[in-house]
Amino acid sequence: ASASAARRAVLAAAGLRFAAEAAAVDEAAIKESARAEGLSAAEAATVLAEAKAARVARRAGGGALVIGADQIL
């Protein structure tokens, strides 16, 4: 659940077959909520990754292993 070229490269280098899908979540709103809750950057990245994975998993319909990833710089 990421459109990141860097994450695609890591998965490809590991020899995995995968499909990369952008999750289309409102990242700005999620980041703002995380800031309001006082979450650390690592916690905010986890919340974003979970939101992305959940969105893609719903679209996938249950037969896929979905990995969500994000980072806060």
C-alpha to C-alpha distance for 18 and 2, rounded to whole angstroms: 11
Buried b (16+ CB within 10 A) or exposed e, 55-69: bbbeeeeeeeebbbb
Point out the residues that are catalytic: 70
